[in-house]
Amino acid sequence: MPQLNGGGGDELGANDELISFKDEGEQEEKISENVSAERDLDDVKSSLVNERMDVVRRPQPRADLESYEKAREYFTEALRRQQDGGFFKSPHYPGYPFLMIPDLTNPYLSSGALSPSARTYLQMKWPLLDVPGTAVLRDSRSPTPGQLSNKVPVVQHAHMHPLTPLITYSNEHFSPGTPPAHLSPEILDPKTGIPRTPHPSELSPYYPLSPGAMGQIPHPLGWLVPQQGQPMYPITAGGFRHPYPALAMNASMSSLVSSHFSPHIVPHHHHGLHQTGIPHPAIVSAAIKQEPNGELSPAANTKSPVSTKKEEDKKPHIKKPLNAFMLYMKEMRAKVVAECTLKESAAINQILGRRWHSLSREEQAKYYELARKERQLHSQLYPGWSARDNYGKRKKRKRDNKTDSTPEDFSARNKKPCVQYLPQEKMIDSPASSHGSMLDSPATPSAALASPAAPAPTHSEQAQPLSLTTKPDRHHHFPLLSKPSSSSSSSSSSASSSSYQPTSASGRQSTPPLLSRPLPLASLHASLLSPPSPFHQAALHSHHALFQSQPLSLVTKSAD
DNA sequence: ATACCTTTGAAGTTC
DNA sequence: GAACTTCAAAGGTAT
């Protein structure tokens, strides 16, 4: 079980890291094949660097600074704390259950105020920690909704548990403009905008309960209870068992959770509610997303086409549970964004992707475990839900080619050139102690950890140019435990060499199955040659497939 | 206004 | 069972 101060934290905050990001961006820009582009890139880089430095060096501003500045300040402070080994020493997820903390970044709670949430969260999160309460309060109260922009969460996350945001399936509902909930007994219904009085069940869990008291309440989801065997969630057996309290707490749903909720509070529609009557963050208003083609879900009844379609439209969109990487992204995005000036999600994601690979096995294992639990919760909440239900709900990507995309086409398709991967980042990213990892099995992290065979993935990646352009071929990934426990079989073993996971062998969505990132073939082969651990075998297998399927691209790319 | 981009992983579909 | 597709988050960018 991960401990609070556990290890390897991927401490971000380091200035070096920032630099690496910058470089990355630079490289990304370099993608352009022409020199002029590089020049532009340099310019951009310079500006980015300067900006970055500003952020890093900027003296701690005071309250009178602009919201943006404040945001940064907070973030900086958070980073400092992390580095100081304080509160956020490292992102551990001992308490996956934290995700269940009601109201945490609750997208439905228009109160928007992070304050109560944050406070509650902190209190619950580390009930045993000897954390200065003032500090907690100070952090949580700070940015008022008005001060924060919609992107506030980014900053706020820095103060919250890294995973807190993970649970919020739909942040889009977050309303920064409303007053902090803790300032008023009233809670605005996110949908109706009508103020309502929070039900005791909504508040009691957090506010009234002292950290110590909370531990006395057995958590219904024992498996979620984390560290030190201390139940952190004040969820009573008879009461609120929702695995996603955050959701349940949301204005409209919280009342539903209670047996004596006020009818007027209940949304006129039941969409978004689990059969248990408990809402889930994954539920998105049907209005937001609806099936273009009117596809019916299995649950659809047999009504006339018209009515059915209507029903369909009203049906809540239950989002897929986040996978390990998504969880990681949610957590780290804020940091990356704060550390560098990059704003494009695509670029950020590239960085995150690399960082993900640079994570130690243990670290990744945490996310896999979280993801596994997320899936479990999700399945419990929506037994009948299938990923297929969401198919077609999103506009179809314009996927070009694929069919016609031959290796030759590949180059043409790529608008962006490959970026050289900077070793620096890797080194910085991965804890010194960590040999990079890769994967492990979420289900059995320990097993993965045990595997000595794993060559430092980081090395290979560091040495190898990474193409930001296309997706790294997943084939190179070692088997992960993607299907953790439950399902599969895969037990995966750990990964050894780089972060390659063969699990889903298939190529990624629209991108051609080409290797954008020149594979660390040498290292890969080396690793494969070594001990024939299951992991290696799997890797080998995947690679064979890879080579078979796209030999050409591989060669060409690597040559680069 | 909305799709795209970009990442990895999970799960679905297709063959 | 391999290969492929879709979606999950996110937010700037492009259309």
Please give the span between the terminal C-alpha atoms of chain A, in angstroms, as a whole number. 43
pLDDT tens for A77-103 read 443 444 433 333 333 333 333 333 333
Q: Which of A120, A107, A113 is nearest to A168 (CA)?
A: A107
Indicate if CB(A394) is under 7 A from strand C: yes
A487 Cβ neighbours under 8 A, 6+ residues apart: none
Instruction: Output the six-digit token pair for A407.
Output: 């290796």
Give, in Å, how far the C1' of C1 lies from the CA of A247.
Answer: 38
A179 Cβ neighbours under 8 A, 6+ residues apart: A111, A112, A113, A144, A145
Give, in Å, how far the C1' of C6 lies from the CA of A7.
Answer: 36
Burial of A157 (0-12, 13-18, 19+ CB in 10 A): buried
pTM score: 0.44
User: Mean pLDDT, 10 residues at a time, over chain A (560 residues)?
Assistant: 34 33 36 34 35 35 36 39 38 37 34 33 32 34 34 34 41 36 36 36 29 32 32 30 36 33 35 46 49 36 50 73 93 88 87 92 91 90 86 62 36 34 36 34 36 34 37 36 35 34 34 32 32 34 34 30
- Look at residue A397 in the predicted model and tell me its pLDDT: 52
One of 3.40.50.720, 3.40.50.10540, 1.10.30.10, 3.40.50.740 is the CATH number of A324-381, namely: 1.10.30.10
Q: Which CA-bearing residue is nearest the C1' of B11?
A: A387
- Look at residue A110 in the predicted model and tell me its pLDDT: 30
Number of Cβ atoms within 10 Å of the Cβ of A264: 10
Indicate if CB(A504) is under 7 A from strand B: yes
Residues 95-124 of A with CB under 7 A from strand B: none
Residues 335-354 of A with CB under 7 A from strand B: 344-346, 349-350, 352-353
Indicate if CB(A154) is under 7 A from strand C: yes
Instruction: Output the six-digit token pair for A343.
Output: 């704003």
Domain definitions of chain A by residue range: 324-381
Give, in Å, how far the C1' of B10 lies from the CA of A327.
Answer: 13
| DSSP string covering A470-518 | SPPPGGGBPP---S-TTT---------STT-B-SS-SPPSSS-S---SP
Which nucleotide lies nearest residue A322, CA to C1'?
A: C8
Indicate if CB(A141) is under 7 A from strand B: no
Indicate if CB(A87) is under 7 A from strand C: no
CA dihedral of residues A60, A65, A71, A72 (deg, nearest 10): -40
Beta strands in A131-286 (DSSP E): 187-188, 195-196, 283-284
- Look at residue A311 in the predicted model and tell me its pLDDT: 58
Q: Which of A79, A113, A99 is nearest to A10 (CA)?
A: A79
